[in-house]
Amino acid sequence: MGKDVIIACDFAGEEECMSFLDKFTEEKPYVKIGMELFYSAGPEIVREIKKRGHKIFLDLKLHDIPNTVKKTMAVLSSLDVDMCNLHASGTKTMMEFALEGLTRPDGTRPLLIAVTQLTSTSEERMKSDLLIEKPLDEVVMHYAKCAAEAGLDGVVCSPLESGKVHEVCGKNFITVTPGVRFADGDVGDQVRVTTPEKAKEIGSDYIVVGRPITQSEDPVAAYRRCVKGFIN
Ligand code: C5P
Q: Which residues line ligand 1 (CB under 6 A)?
A: 8, 10, 34, 118-119, 156, 178-179, 188, 190, 208-212
From the candidates 28, 50, 51, 61, give the one annotated as an active-site residue: 61
**Largest distance between two CA atoms of the chain:** 50
**Catalytic residue flag (residue 61):** yes
Measured distance CA(117)–CA(196) in Å, rounded: 22
Percent of the chain with pLDDT over 90: 88
pLDDT digits (tens, 9 = 90+) for 214-227: 999 999 999 999 99
Q: Cα(70)–Cα(76) distance, rounded to whole angstroms?
A: 10
pLDDT digits (tens, 9 = 90+) for 141-154: 999 999 999 999 99
Assign residue 26 a region: left if phi > 0, alpha if psi is -120 to 50, beta otherwise?
alpha
Residue 87 CA, ligand 1 centroid: distance in Å:
15
Total domains in the fold of the chain:
1
Domain that holds residue 25: 4-230
Instruction: For 90-133, list the strands marked E by DSSP.
Output: 111-115
Pocket test for ligand 1, best of 208, 216, 226 (most atoms within 8 A of CB): 208
Report the DSSP beta bridge partners of residue 175: 155
Contact 81, 71 (CB under 8 A): no
3-state secondary structure of 107: coil
**Reported confidence tier of residue 186, pLDDT bands at 50, 70, 90:** confident
Mean pLDDT over residues 104-113, rounded?
Answer: 97
Across 76-84, average pLDDT: 96
DSSP track, 208-230: EE-HHHHTSSSHHHHHHHHHHHH
Report how far ligand 1's centroid is from the alpha carbon of 187 (Å): 12
CATH of the domain at 213: 3.20.20.70
- Asked whether the CA dihedral 207, 211, 214, 215 is positive or negative, the reply is negative
